[in-house]
Structure 1
Amino acid sequence: MTEIFTRIEHSRTADEVLQQIERLILEGVLGAGDRLPGERDLSARFDVSRPILRDALKALEARGLIESRHGGGTFVADIVGEVFAPPMAQLIRSHRKAASDYLEYRREIESVAAELAARRATEADRALLTGIVERMKAAHAAADFEAEAEADVDLHNAVGECAHNIVLLHTLRSCYRLLADDVFYNRSLIYVLPGARDRLLEQHCAIRDAICAADPEAARKAARAHIDFVEQAAAEAERASEWQRVSRLRLQQRGGG
């Protein structure tokens, strides 16, 4: 495994340790919930004294970037999730217009991310995308909705990472948190639409293929086509769900339920 913490070469101050950990969080190398190594191990990796490390960790905690859990260690704080705190997520969920605005936003930002990823993806990035797509294919073949949905979010997050734009990365991560939580629409309803799972898999593969082929225009088009389909499928799933609800009420009213 690649070492992400590097030896402090110069004055070995708490500020240098703080800046290195901040940079790892900013670049998305360290994500929400990641546990930092123990104090002894981490001070050795940085080649600094434990008092210096403690000062750096205290400063990071004061900034809300890490949190200490009693008896459990030190973890990266969920600063991405705070972009859409539960009250805001609930407010968004209760207003239908937010769903169309969300997909409009995703259509634009994901097409930019895919285009940048096609221009900037490294060999390691392309391997990451391929690994996620293979996991998605396996889940698809096994009809494992939960695993396929998880791979879906992972792939979109990975495209954001491959774009190598820090602001874009964290914006997308907050956006996909809402996707994972089914805030705007129930993905399980989309997955049961005839042919939808096959279409979604094809679209995800097309995005991966365009990025790996270093074709920015194809990547942009594939990303936009994917969101166009999701928007159409979400509307269709909502209509079907409403029709089923009305049908059940009619049946119940007639004494058949």
Structure 2
Amino acid sequence: MSDIFSRIEHSRTADEVIGQIETLILEGVLRTGDRLPGERDLAQRFEVSRPILRDALKTLELRGLLVTRHGGGTYVADVIGQVFSKPVMDLISTHRKAAGDYLEYRREIEGIAAEYAARRATPDDIALLDAIMARMDEAYDSGDFEDEAEIDVEFHHAVGECAHNIILLHTLRSCYRLLSEGVFRHRLLVFTLPGAREELLAQHRAIYMAVKAGDPAAARKAAMDHIAYVERSMAEAERTGDWQRVSRLRLRQRAGEHELQRKRS
């Protein structure tokens, strides 16, 4: 975080500080839960007095963008979580149609994000994607489903950031929030399907390569194909789970019948 704050060039007022921090939050540089540097350090970076900084931070806190926690420290508030409130998230998690609608929406919006990313990604963006792709390869080699799923979300976050569209960025973040909150609990089942891990890795690599090559059409197609595959796989995983549940009940029932017959004989 040492390089994201810059000195206030002109009037050195609270409004200037407020504007810079708001922009960092809006552009996704500062994320929910990020801790700001201490008051003295931050005032030095902005080159403003500590009273001016305090006024700015207080205003941002009143606007709901920052929060001060017990034990000290100022953090970026949970502005993304307000898009899907807890009651709405609970409703989504208990209605099966919502999962399908969620993926249908993501298929279209992630296609746009990947297309924009291929057009607009900077060398720094590509360096970030390089690092995430390397970690994805490592997670695949380790065979840790939860680790793979976590990096999966991080990868899509990064592609959204590479699109350099503020509205798209925050819309996608609100979508991914549903994943990180475990609203779609059966999504990990996708990784257990035969060949799914290999296929998912190849699909992410196709998105990554298209963005890196600056090919918008290929990036959009790769992203949409990926979500379409996830849609099919989640449906299959859910059916497989149901089949396993029914098979297990049948087995228990048959075992019970055999035990009853044995006792009667």
Give the shorter-chain TM-score range. Answer: over 0.9
CA offset digits 1:13-36 (Å, max 9, x no partner): 111100100000000000001000
| Distance of 1:86 and 1:254 partners within structure 2 | 42
User: Equivalent residue for 2:59?
Assistant: 59
User: Equivalent residue for 1:179?
Assistant: 179
User: Is the Cα–Cα contact under 8 Å of residues 35 and 73 in structure 1 kept in the other structure?
Assistant: yes
Change (3 A) 1:152 1:238: same
Write out aligned runs for 1:45-194 (5 A): 45-194=45-194
Query: What number of residue pairs does the alignment pair up?
Result: 257
Asked if 1:23 is matched to 2:26, the reply is no
User: Is the Cα–Cα contact under 8 Å of residues 99 and 185 in structure 1 kept in the other structure?
Assistant: no
| Distance of 1:130 and 1:175 partners within structure 2 | 23
| Distance of 1:182 and 1:232 partners within structure 2 | 19
Deviation at 1:193, TM superposition (A): 0.3
Query: What residue identity is the alignment partner of 1:250?
Result: R
| Distance of 2:255 and 2:182 partners within structure 1 | 34
Asked if 1:36 is matched to 2:36, the reply is yes
Name stretches of at least 5 consecutive residues in structure 2 with no aligned partner: 260-265
Q: Residue 254 of structure 1 aligns to a residue in which SS?
A: helix
- Name the Cα RMSD after superposition: 1.3
Change (3 A) 1:164 1:212: same
User: Is the Cα–Cα contact under 8 Å of residues 43 and 49 in structure 1 kept in the other structure?
Assistant: yes
Deviation at 1:71, TM superposition (A): 1.6
Deviation at 1:74, TM superposition (A): 0.4
Query: What residue identity is the alignment partner of 2:100?
Result: S
Query: What residue identity is the alignment partner of 1:189?
Result: L
Asked if 1:14 is matched to 2:14, the reply is yes
Deviation at 1:72, TM superposition (A): 2.9
| Distance of 1:2 and 1:110 partners within structure 2 | 31
CA offset digits 1:179-211 (Å, max 9, x no partner): 223323522211000000100000000000000
CA offset digits 1:191-247 (Å, max 9, x no partner): 000000100000000000000000000000000100110000000000000001111
Percent sequence identity over aligned pairs: 68
Q: Which moved more, 1:86-95 or 1:176-185?
A: 176-185
| Distance of 1:71 and 1:2 partners within structure 2 | 22
Change (3 A) 1:20 1:46: same
User: Is the Cα–Cα contact under 8 Å of residues 98 and 184 in structure 1 kept in the other structure?
Assistant: no
User: Equivalent residue for 1:224?
Assistant: 224
Query: What residue identity is the alignment partner of 2:249?
Result: L
CA offset digits 1:26-53 (Å, max 9, x no partner): 0000000100000000011111111110
User: Equivalent residue for 2:263?
Assistant: none
Q: Residue 67 of structure 1 aligns to a residue in which SS?
A: strand
Q: Residue 99 of structure 1 aligns to a residue in which SS?
A: helix
| Distance of 1:225 and 1:85 partners within structure 2 | 30
Name stretches of at least 5 consecutive residues in structure 1 with no aligned partner: none
Segments ≥4 residues shifted beyond 3 Å: none
Query: What residue identity is the alignment partner of 2:199?
Result: R
TM-score (norm 1): 0.97
| Distance of 1:121 and 1:62 partners within structure 2 | 34
Query: What residue identity is the alignment partner of 1:36?
Result: L
| Distance of 1:110 and 1:137 partners within structure 2 | 22
Structure 1 or 2, whichever has the larger Rg, is: 2
Deviation at 1:85, TM superposition (A): 1.9
Deviation at 1:2, TM superposition (A): 5.7
